[in-house]
């Protein structure tokens, strides 16, 4: 309680573990869920809907979308420049 009053909060449990340890535990959980047959597997339609929702959420951030477009244009112009160079 004293730490919460000061505005600092200590991580506990899963959140306090390092990333590698969290990954190992999550991986085991996923494998067991598949073995037991109770892991959720997306249907094609569910996956399509999830992708659509993600795309809608990301595209609301116009600055982010402009950055993606700029980087894509740069990458394309670089790859075209490499393709058009005569062999040496």
Per residue in 48-61, pLDDT tens? 999 999 989 888 89
Cα separation, 33 vs 22, whole angstroms: 17
Among candidate residues 62, 45, 64, 43, the one with its CA nearest the CA of residue 53: 45
What whole-number percentage of the chain has pLDDT above 70?
Answer: 85
- Greater confidence (5 vs 45) lies with 45
**Token pair listed for 30:** 């996923």
pTM over 0.75: no
Please state the domain extents for the chain. 1-41, 46-88
User: How confident is the model at residue 51, as a pLDDT?
Assistant: 93
Per residue in 6-31, pLDDT tens? 668 899 998 999 999 999 999 999 99
């Amino acid at each position: 309680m004293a730490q919460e009053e000061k505005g600092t909060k200590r991580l506990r449990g899963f959140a306090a573990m390092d990333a590698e340890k969290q990954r190992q535990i999550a991986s085991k959980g996923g494998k067991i869920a598949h073995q037991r047959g109770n892991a959720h597997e997306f249907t094609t339609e569910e996956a399509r809907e999830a992708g659509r929702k993600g795309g809608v959420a990301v595209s609301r951030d116009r600055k982010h979308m402009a950055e993606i477009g700029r980087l894509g244009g740069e990458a394309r112009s670089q790859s075209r420049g490499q393709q058009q160079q005569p062999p040496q």
